[in-house]
Structures are given as structure tokens and as C-alpha cells.
């Protein structure tokens, strides 16, 4: 007998700190039966700033009762409640990733904030959460989690195939013949470019890659950035949003003009994706790009010049703005069913591992 098919809402707020993505999905936890409505609720600029401050403080013993942390958690959760309501759709379960403020798997720490009990009560639905904790506790990287969803979506596409997600951080899922799966964080996604543009212009990001397109790559700065030992490290591996902060600060980037800095950071993102080729069992015949980075033509052009066949996931009928949220809808159903969330090829955990927990509304 097959598993029950459930209607699930997935909620994802990535390291870009741009807002909450919500998406509806029907699934048995293995296959995607149907996708449905999806939306993004942007964070108010003030919430974005508060989260940013927490991120900066999280490394240095942020107490769990910190008032700023508690306030931001409540505001963040309300934003998720609003996203669920805005979907205006019925569901059986919610998958709630929460906002990562710290990710240090080598110290067996990963921290996603959000009040699952509050969300469950407000929505009257069970909430699956804490997707990464069991994996990190078992010595895994705790990331990426999307590969199992990428595999479900890509079941009938030609292999080897790469699915590249460019959020704040970049991560790749490599799909080989059969069920073989390899995934890891490639390096920076949009975050360093977002931070650069924010510091120089006050804008949240380089809209349509206009600044980068008007700039020239500084090869010396780029070389210093690409010298980071992360790129030579074999998979599995994962990143914190701030992992390149120190290197960026000493790279000479700060001496560049706004446009040249943007062009150099785009090359950094594309260069790190291209460095990931060394860790893949075979060169992908195609790269499907999801996440906000695919909206940046400068990034897409830089990827195409290094990798060949690069296309947004829309090319195969997926929704690149909803994909991560859909993933947490499917993962919620997997949590409920006790199915594994992580695998040796995705997080380096010793054996396929179930995870997450369910918080009931009562």
C-alpha cells in the first residue's frame, strides 16, 4: 500500500534575509503529486536589520533569553503566520524551516529561530520543524536539505544533471544515474553582493545585475577570494552566511568602485560554482538554476561562460521562486512519515537519517 498523500505548506526564509517564501504542495513524501499556490512575503526592512544584527551576534554566545532574540523570533513567526494566511489554501501540515542565524556543523551547532508552537496555534495545524538538528548532532553538515526534493522533481530528466540554488549561499545537487546523489554548498551566492551593494548604495541587491554589468573584474581581488581553502575541500561541506566575511574584508574589495566590486563578486560566485566541478563524479550535461540568483543576468552570464548549458529551472517547468518552500512542504511530510531527510551524499551523515519534529497546535 502506498503512503497517504497529504497537503502541505512549506515555509522557507533563506540566508538572503529577503523574506518568507510559502508554497503549497501535495505529496506522499516521495513524489510530488501536485504543486499549488506560492508567494513571497518580504521582511519589513526593520525586521531584516534586526535579523542581520542577530546573525552578527549569534557566533558569540547569544543567550536564548536575549530580549532582541525573543522579539525578533516573535516578529519573524508572525511574518510566517501571515504568509500561511496569504496562501489562502487548506493543508494538513506545515513545514517550518525558520531563520538560520548560525551554522557551524563542525562544532555540531546549527541554529534556526522561529516559534513553531506559536505558528501551530495560530494556523491550527501541526508544524514540522528543526529539520537540521538531528543531522548535525549525528556529525552531518545539516545542509543542504533540498537534494531530496530536487531528485523528486528531476526524476525524468537526463543525467548527470546539476541543480544549482543561488540564495544567500550557493548549493549544488548533482544527480547521476539511478538514485545517486551528491550535494554541497558551492560558496557565496548572492549574500556578499547584496552586502556590498547595500553598503555602497543602500539598495538591498544589484537589481538585474546592472552594477555588475557596468564594472570590470579585479583579477587580483578575485584570486585572493578564490584562494579560500573551502573550494578545495571535498564534499560534503556547508557554509555559514558569514563564512567569507573575514576574507572579503582583507581581499582589497573595499578599495574598488561600486561597479567593479559588484563585477568581482559576481565572478566570485560563478568561480566558486565552477570550482565545484572538481568535486563532482562527472560533469553535468546541464545546470538548472533556482533561487534569487537566477534573476541576476550578470550571474547567469558568468555561469554560462564557465559551465556551458545553464538555464533557469523554469526551462523544465519548475518555479525557482517557490522551490525551496516546496521542498520544506515535502520534508514536513517526510518528518511525519519518519522518512530520511539527509544522506551520506548530501550532508556526509553516516547513513540515511530521519529528522525534524512535529509540534501540534493543541
Ligand X SMILES: Nc1ncnc2c1ncn2[C@@H]1O[C@H](COP(=O)(O)OP(=O)(O)O)[C@@H](O)[C@H]1O
CB of 356 to Mg ion, least distance (A): 21
CB of 283 to ligand X, least distance (A): 25
Q: Closer to ligand X at the Cβ: 120 or 264?
A: 264
Nearest to 15 by CA among 207, 203, 143, 109: 143
CB of 209 to ligand X, least distance (A): 6
Q: Closer to ligand X at the Cβ: 51 or 336?
A: 51
C-alpha distance from residue 145 to each of 12, 266, 351 (Å): 12, 25, 15
Q: Closer to ligand X at the Cβ: 93 or 266?
A: 266
Q: Closer to ligand X at the Cβ: 148 or 327?
A: 327
Cell of 339: 522518512
Question: Count of residues for the chain?
Answer: 362
Contact partner, 15, from ligand X, Mg ion, none, Cβ < 5-8 Å per class? ligand X
Instruction: Return the exposure string of 308-337: e unless at least 16 CB atoms fall within 10 Å of the residue's CB, then b.
Output: eebebbeeeebebbbbbbbbbbbbbbbbbe
Rounded distance between C-alpha atoms, residue 285 and residue 163, angstroms? 11
Rounded distance between C-alpha atoms, residue 324 and residue 303, angstroms? 21
Q: Residues in the site for ligand X, rule: CB under 6 A?
A: 14-16, 18, 167-168, 190, 194, 205-209, 291-293, 295-296, 324
Contact partner, 206, from ligand X, Mg ion, none, Cβ < 5-8 Å per class? ligand X
Rounded distance between C-alpha atoms, residue 64 and residue 58, angstroms? 10
CB of 206 to ligand X, least distance (A): 6
Cell of 308: 556551458
Residue with cell 548604495: 201
SS3 of residue 290 by DSSP:
strand
Contact partner, 168, from ligand X, Mg ion, none, Cβ < 5-8 Å per class? ligand X
Contact partner, 205, from ligand X, Mg ion, none, Cβ < 5-8 Å per class? ligand X
Contact partner, 85, from ligand X, Mg ion, none, Cβ < 5-8 Å per class? none
Contact partner, 171, from ligand X, Mg ion, none, Cβ < 5-8 Å per class? none
Footprint (CB under 5 A) of Mg ion, residues 1-60: 14, 16, 18
The residue nearest ligand X at its CB is 292
CB of 211 to Mg ion, least distance (A): 20
CB-based contacts of 87, cutoff 8 Å, min separation 6: 9, 22, 23, 24, 37, 38, 39
Q: Closer to Mg ion at the Cβ: 16 or 346?
A: 16
CB of 139 to ligand X, least distance (A): 25
Q: Closer to Mg ion at the Cβ: 21 or 135?
A: 21
CB of 349 to Mg ion, least distance (A): 26
Rounded distance between C-alpha atoms, residue 267 and residue 193, angstroms? 10
Q: Closer to ligand X at the Cβ: 100 or 251?
A: 100
Rounded distance between C-alpha atoms, residue 185 and residue 172, angstroms? 6
How many residues lie near Mg ion (CB under 5 A)?
A: 3
What is the dihedral angle through the alpha carbons of 271, 274, 275, 278, rounded to the nearest 10 degrees? -170
Q: Closer to Mg ion at the Cβ: 18 or 115?
A: 18
Rounded distance between C-alpha atoms, residue 187 and residue 276, angstroms? 9
CB of 339 to Mg ion, least distance (A): 26
Residues in contact with Mg ion by CB under 5 A are 14, 16, 18
Amino acid at each position: 500500500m502506498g503512503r497517504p498523500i497529504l497537503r502541505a505548506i512549506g515555509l522557507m526564509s533563506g540566508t538572503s534575509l529577503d523574506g518568507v517564501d510559502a508554497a503549497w504542495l501535495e505529496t506522499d513524501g516521495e513524489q510530488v503529486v501536485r504543486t499549488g499556490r506560492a508567494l513571497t512575503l518580504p521582511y519589513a526592512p526593520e525586521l531584516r536589520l534586526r535579523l542581520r544584527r542577530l546573525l552578527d551576534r549569534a557566533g558569540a554566545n547569544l543567550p536564548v533569553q536575549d530580549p532582541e532574540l525573543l522579539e525578533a523570533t516573535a516578529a519573524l513567526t508572525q511574518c510566517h503566520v501571515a504568509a500561511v494566511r496569504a496562501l489562502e489554501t487548506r493543508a494538513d501540515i506545515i513545514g517550518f524551516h525558520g531563520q538560520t542565524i548560525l551554522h557551524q556543523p563542525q562544532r555540531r551547532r546549527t541554529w534556526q529561530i522561529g516559534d513553531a508552537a506559536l505558528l501551530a496555534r495560530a494556523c491550527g495545524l501541526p508544524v514540522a520543524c528543526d529539520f537540521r538538528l538531528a543531522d548535525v548532532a549525528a556529525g552531518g553538515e545539516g545542509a543542504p536539505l533540498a537534494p531530496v526534493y530536487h531528485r523528486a522533481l528531476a526524476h525524468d530528466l537526463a543525467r548527470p544533471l546539476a541543480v544549482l540554488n543561488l540564495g544567500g549561499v550557493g548549493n549544488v545537487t548533482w544527480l547521476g544515474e539511478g538514485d545517486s546523489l551528491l550535494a554541497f554548498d558551492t560558496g557565496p551566492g548572492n549574500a556578499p553582493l547584496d552586502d556590498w551593494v547595500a553598503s555602497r548604495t543602500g539598495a538591498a541587491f544589484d537589481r538585474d545585475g546592472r552594477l555588475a554589468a557596468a564594472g570590470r573584474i579585479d583579477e587580483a581581488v578575485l584570486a585572493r577570494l578564490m584562494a579560500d581553502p573551502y573550494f578545495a575541500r571535498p564534499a560534503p561541506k556547508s557554509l555559514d552566511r558569514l563564512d567569507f566575511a573575514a576574507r572579503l574584508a582583507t581581499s582589497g574589495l573595499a578599495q574598488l568602485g561600486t561597479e567593479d566590486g559588484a563585477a568581482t563578486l559576481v565572478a566570485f560566485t560563478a568561480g566558486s560554482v565552477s570550482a565545484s566541478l572538481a568535486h563532482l563524479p562527472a560533469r553535468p550535461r546541464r545546470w538548472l538554476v533556482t533561487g534569487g540568483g537566477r534573476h541576476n543576468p550578470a550571474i547567469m552570464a558568468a555561469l554560462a561562460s564557465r559551465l556551458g548549458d545553464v538555464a533557469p529551472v523554469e526551462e523544465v517547468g519548475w518555479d525557482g521562486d517557490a522551490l525551496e518552500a516546496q521542498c520544506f512542504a515535502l520534508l514536513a511530510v517526510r518528518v511525519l512519515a519518519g522518512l530520511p531527510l539527509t544522506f551520506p551524499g548530501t550532508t556526509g551523515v553516516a547513513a540515511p537519517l530521519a529528522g525534524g519534529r512535529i509540534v501540534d497546535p493543541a
